[in-house]
Amino acid sequence: MPTIDLAKTSLRDLNATLHQLKPDTNETLWTITNPAGEHSIAVGVDAPITINIDGNVGYYCGGMNSQASIIIEGSAGQGVGENMMSGLIHVKGDASQSAGATGRGGRLIIEGNASARCGISMKGIDIVVKGDIGHLSAFMGQNGRLVVFGEAGEALGDSLYEAHIYVRGPVASLGADCIEKEMRDEHRVELIELLKLAGEANKVDVSEFRRYGSARQLYNFNIDNADAY
* Residues 126-150 pLDDT 10s: 999 999 999 999 999 999 999 999 9
Pairing of strands 143-148, 88-91: unpaired
Q: What dotted CATH number matches 3-217?
A: 2.160.20.60
Number of residues that make up the chain: 229
The beta-carbon contacts of 101-109 under 8 Å, at least 24 apart in sequence, are 103/127, 103/144, 106/65, 106/66, 106/81, 107/197, 107/198, 108/80, 108/81, 108/84, 109/197, 109/198
Section 202-212 average pLDDT: 93
Region of 174 (left: φ > 0; alpha: ψ -120 to 50; beta: rest) is beta
Please write the tens of the pLDDT for every residue from 209-219.
Answer: 999 999 998 87
Section 80-97 average pLDDT: 98
Largest CA distance in the chain: 63
Say if residue 55's pLDDT is above 60: yes
Q: Where are the domains of the chain?
A: 3-217
Is 97 strand, coil or helix? coil
